[in-house]
Structure formats: C-alpha cells, structure tokens
Amino acid sequence: MAQKSYRQAINEALHAEMARDPNVILMGEDLTGGAGGSGVQDAWGGPFGVTRGLLGAYGPERVRDTPISEAAFIGAAAGAALTGLRPVAEIMFIDFLGVCFDQIMNQAAKFRYMFGGRARTPLVIRATYGAGTRAGSQHTQALHPILTHIPGLKVVMPSTPYDAKGLLIQAIRDDDPVMFLEHKMLYDMVGEVPDRSYTIPFAEARVVRDGKDVLLIGLGRMAHIAEAAAEELARNGISACVIDPRTTSPLDVETLVEFAEKIGRVVIVDEANPRCSVAADISAILCEQCFDALKGPIRMVTAPHTPVPYAPNLEDAYIPSAARVVEAAQSLLRTR
Amino acid sequence: MSALQFPRERIIGIYRSMRLIRRFEERLMEEMSTGDIPGNTHLYAGQEASAVGVCLALREDDYISSTHRGHGHSIAKGCEIDAMMAELFGRATGTCAGKGGSQHIADLRKGMLGANGIVAGGAPITCGAALSAKLRGTEQVAVAFAGDGAMNEGVMAESFNLAKIWMLPIIFVIENNGYGEATANAHVSAGSFTRRAEGYDIPTDEVDGTDVFAVYEATRVAVERARTGGGPTLLHIHVPRYFGHYSGDPDTYRSADEKGEMRKNRDCLRLFRSRVEGAALLEGADLDQVEAEVEDQINQAVAAARAAPRPDAAALHTDVYVKYM
C-alpha cells in the first residue's frame, strides 16, 4: 500500500470529495495563498500545505481564500450548509475559535434542534491544534474539550494518515456539523493510505495494540505518546493496551468500557488542559459504568492547568511525555 | 412598477400582512398576562411596513434571516400564523415543534433562515445563503434583517466586507427603531450607518419605515441589483417600536411624549389607510373587512395553539443531530 503523509491524506480526501460532489466547497484564510498577488498562485497551498493543488483542479469559486474574518466566513459556511452546499471551512489555528465561536456554538450546532429537526447543516470545520511548534499561547492549544461539550457538534481528531483520510471523507459526507482537528506535529507523519476513497465511521475507537496489564487511552497525537509508553512498558515486562478513541463526540463508550473492565487499570493521555476535559469526562464515564472492575484510580496524564509556554524547555514539559505515561502506569501496577 | 400601481388584490394583501403582524403582536402582549406563553418575547409592532415592504419585493424562494424581534419578518415571508402561534405557546404543532420559541422561529421551506437570539448573528449566515445561491446559479437573493443595535457588533463589518468582495446577492436591512434594548442609539453609535457601508463601496438608501410603498421601492432597486450580479446593498430603515424592548419591559426610559408622538404620527397602518383611501385605490370598507378577517385568523390561531399538544417528553432528546450513533 502507498506510503503517504498525514498532510497528503487530508489533501486526497478533499480532492476525492470535491470531485465526487460539486456542492463541496472550501473556504479559509490562505487556503491557496497568493490570491490577488503579483506572484505565484496557490503559493502556500494552505498555511501548512494541506490544500495545495485544489485551486488548480476546482477553481476559485469552489476554493475560496477569505479575508481574515473568521466570524464572517465560518458563519457564511454555516449558512451555505443550511442552504444546500457542503462547505469545508478552515480555521487556521483552533485558538481562533475565540473570534468565531458564536457562529459555531450558537448557530451551526443548534440549527437542527432549534428549528425542530427541520434543518440539515452538513458543515465541516477543519482546524489545526496542538503544542510543540514554539508558537506561544495563542497558536498551540488543544480545545477539543470545549467543542465536545456542545450538543450538535461532532468532534474528530485523527492520529494517523490512514484515519485522517477516512475520517475526513466520512465528515464531509456527514449531515451534521463536524469539527475536524488536525495536529500540526502530525502533518509530516507517514503511513499507509490507500489511493481509493474509504470512510471510517465515527464512534469507532481504534485498538492500537492489545495488552492485559494496563489500558492507555490516547487522544489525537497522544495516541502516539501512549504507544511509545507501551513500548517502554513492554521492555519492563508490562503488557499495555493502547486505544485511540478517534472521535470524542460521538465517543465509543462501549469499547472503552469493554477494555477498562477487562484490564482494570486505566491511564488517559490528553494534551488538553485537565479541568473539564475529555480525559476527565472519560474518567467519569468509566467510573460510573465499570467502577467495580477497576483495580485502582484512573490516572490522567495531561497538560498542566496553564497556557502553553514559549520557551522550548517549558513547552516540552507542558506536553505529556511517554515517560510520564510510563510512570503513571507503573504507579497503578504498584497499587493493589 | 410602484406598489401603488399593483392590482387591487395585491394592495389589499399588503394591508393584510401588516395588520396580521400588528394584531399578532398585540395579541401576544395580551396573552402574556394569562401566563400561558412561556418566557418573554420581543414585539415587532410599529415596524410592520419594513418587513412587509421588504418581503413584497422578494421571490418566494428568496432567503431572509431575522433577529430576536422576528415575528414580523416571519409573517411577511409567509410563515404560517397557526404554527407560529403554537410555537410561542410551546406546542408540538409549532413552527419548530415547540423547541425553538420566539427567538428561533425558522421555516426553511419559506426561505426563512431563522430569527436569532444573538444580535447580528444572522448576518454571516445570510452571506452564506447568498453565496450558496450564487454558486448554485439560482438567482435567489438573501436579506439579512438587523437592528440598530447590531450595527455595533463587529461581525456586521466583517459581513459587509465579505459581501462586497464576493459580490454576494444580499441586502442588509438595518431597522433603526432608535433603541438597542433600553439604550438610545444616539448614545452608543458613532458616525452614520450608511456611511459605514459606503466605506465598503456598498450602495445604501435611507428609508422611511412607516411608508410601506417607500420600503418596497427601495428594496426593489436593491433586489434588482443583487439578482443581476451587482452585489450587496444596505437599507437603513427608520421605524418606531411600539412596545418596550421585550414584552415585560415597563419602557420607562422613553418619555410619554415620545411614545405618544410615535403612535400618533408614525403608525404605518393608519398612514397606509389614508394613503390608499386618499388615492381612491381602496375604500375604508375593504380595509375594515381585512381587519375582521385578520381578527378571526388570530382568534383561531390562539384557540388552536391552546388546544395543541405539548411536545412529547421524548422530544427533549431528538433532533440534536441528523444521526449521532
């Protein structure tokens, strides 16, 4: 099977769906880069090169570089979705949610319910998230907990190139508003991605590796940190199971409960801040649904309750590490 | 063609729409005191000529979005009175099955994209509807109604810019009733609304919102521009607000003189009557008959709403998503 980057996988999904359905349009800041300039068109191919080549294939009517007006174009995407199109809008950094949240939280997410079930809003909002880029506090957050909290939104956070393509195609074909979160540190990750189109249903967690001593649940990029921790644990004779939920809303509660019950020790790894987080939420769900099967407290390995710092040593300390996951797993195994 | 030259039945229709809105709102104000209507509501009475004049210039498949003060726009665009009344009573037969209420009345089949509880929230959504129409090549036009208060929300400025650079078939209708909630517009608004839009090279018009014919004429020009690829227009329509900001508002911040003058001299229904009777287009008896029919229609809507079932308890959980799990 072909080896492709996470970036390429997303690009392929957009290509495939735009070719398949003329109602799919793209809008965002510098989706092409260079629009109206005196030099090269599609100069950037998106701020992270994800949307390169789509302008040439589908033209400026369907691939729209917007003004830096997130509230206006995210709202416009919602309105276009309500009236027959399938827009895929891009928020360059999820942090910019701060200037367009009304259109997501109060408008797009609630149309269907407020209008008595008589609306469909097939809207995808792609956004980058995550720390590790030395970009300071306003270009690095992991805000999936805020989005997961809101009824009417679906929240997807792929961790591999394969999942990115399948989940994005699923998101574009979905009839509800979907937040599609791409971790910046994963764009260059390479993995197997079929050339053909395929979908991955939401609420189907991926069992990254099976194991019997401890369950590591890793969200988004943290699935890889959990996997690295599992390798380390294996070298110490500890068998760790790793699960990537892939979507936080809807969440595959069934699989998480099944494995938590079977294994009894759970560590949840999340790059978001810890309070009112998806990690805290999964912990609460497992406590409620399989408390008796737990052999110890559920451990959360998360970012601290701070903004993301700039200095590399501080930012590195902010992001959950495999060493911290190993330590949490080992401490769980010491309790009886 | 001026609306004054419309066939007789169509001119009667204009009065019927305005009268329906007036009586719908007055009746809601009365029904509020019975305790049968949950919550509060923002009444459109006084502003009827604006909604009716604008919608008169639209096609049935054109889009509008509305505000928290949205009953008038909904009625003018053709939403059903019975369903709207049932919605306000919180009944299953309502426009939104009882789940939206006053601030979220929407009927996509009528091109009504929703009232909105967030001031200026509808402007970008309407840009999206206009973009959708443009890309689908349907020649539909979209109207974003907003109040004077909305003009001080940043998203309006973003929407003006987006509408102009994309040459969207959209009309921003700013209904200025002089007050954003309880604060006078002059106290919180700098400069001029039309000059703000003109800064984006968006054509504008100042319109007397008590004159339904003037509103129609200004909208007709804007619709023609939008439908033929000429891009956005802003209409600044000056209207009186008969009641307080919301139905429970004692409205003490406006003087008795101001309120008295408004009702005496700026009643769009009375002005319509004298205009059409003066021009011998209709007779008083024609309009009296419309009033009697409207009265029956409102009475029936209230009775039907009271008799309608409340939403089933299971409805709490439905329609959050098209499909979730």
Summarize pLDDT for B4-63 with one digit per residue, the tens: 899 999 999 999 999 999 999 999 999 999 999 998 999 999 999 999 999 999 999 999
Q: Which CATH number goes with the domain that contains A38?
A: 3.40.50.970
Whether the CB of A117 is below 8 Å from some CB of chain B: the reply is yes
ipTM of the complex: 0.96
Please indicate, yes or no, whether residues A237 and A161 belong to a single structural domain of this protein.
Answer: no
SS (H, E, C) A223-263: HHHHHHHHHHHHHCCCCEEEEECCEEECCCHHHHHHHHHHH
| Interchain contact, A117 vs B324, CB within 8 Å | no
Q: Which residue ranges form the domains of chain B, and what is each CATH number?
A: 3-307 (3.40.50.970)
Residue B43: name the closest of B55, B53, B51, B54 by CA.
B51
Mean pLDDT of A240-256: 98
Q: Tell if the CB–CB gap between B135 and A62 is shorter than 8 Å.
A: yes
Residues 261-300 (A) with a CB less than 8 A from some CB of B: none
Instruction: Kindly report the pTM of this predicted structure.
Output: 0.97
Do residues A157 and A273 share a domain?
Answer: no
**Does residue A336 have a pLDDT over 90?**
no
Is A200 inside any structural domain?
A: no
State whether A165 and A212 are in the same domain: no
Torsion of CA B79, B84, B86, B87, to 10 degrees: 120
- CB proximity B152 to A under 8 Å: no
- Nearest-neighbour CA in chain A from B125: distance (Å): 4
Residue A250 included in any domain: yes
pLDDT in tens, B246-289: 999 999 999 999 999 999 999 999 999 999 999 999 999 999 99
Pair (A23, A150) in one structural domain: yes
> Both A62 and A182 in a single domain?
yes
Give per-residue burial for B234-273: e unless 16+ CB within 10 Å, then b.
bbbbbbbbbbbbbbeeeeeeeeeeebeebeeebbbbebbb
Residue A32 has pLDDT above 80, yes or no: yes
| Residue A260 sits in the same domain as residue A164 | no
Quick check: A220 and A29 in contact, CB under 8 A? no
How far, rounded to the nearest angstrom, does the alpha carbon of residue B257 sit from its chain's CA centroid? 26
Burial of A330 per CB tally in 10 Å (0-12, 13-18, 19+)? middle
**Average pLDDT for chain A:** 97
Write the pLDDT tens digit of every residue in B111-146: 999 999 999 999 999 999 999 999 999 999 999 999
Q: Is the pLDDT of residue B147 over 80?
A: yes
* B104 near A CB under 8 A: yes
pLDDT class of B150 with cuts at 50, 70, 90: very high
Calculate mean pLDDT across residues B196-202.
Answer: 98
Which CATH number is A281's domain given?
3.40.50.920
Considering the domain architecture, whether residues A249 and A317 belong to the same structural domain is answered as yes
**Nearest-CA neighbor of B232 among B183, B303, B161, B313?**
B161
What are the E-state strand segments in chain B?
A: 63-65, 142-147, 170-176, 179-180, 183-184, 204-208, 233-238
Tokens representing B304? 């039907």
pLDDT of residue A1: 82
Predicted confidence at residue B325, as pLDDT, reads 87
Domain that holds residue A29: 3-192
pLDDT value of residue A335:
75
- Domain's final residue, options A166, A192, A218: A192
Q: Answer whether residue A71 is part of any domain.
A: yes
Could you report the per-residue pLDDT of A88-100, keeping only the tens digit for each? Answer: 999 999 999 999 9
* pLDDT at res. B4: 87
In this predicted model, what pLDDT tens digit does every residue of B63-83 receive, in sequence order?
999 999 999 999 999 999 999
- CB contacts of B159 in chain A (<8 Å) are 72, 75
The whole-number pLDDT of residue B276 equals 95
Number of domains comprising chain A: 2
Same domain, A258 and A170: no
Question: Are residues A263 and A301 located together in one domain of the fold?
Answer: yes
- Distance in angstroms (rounded) separating the CA atoms of residues A78 and A111: 9
Active site residue A144: no
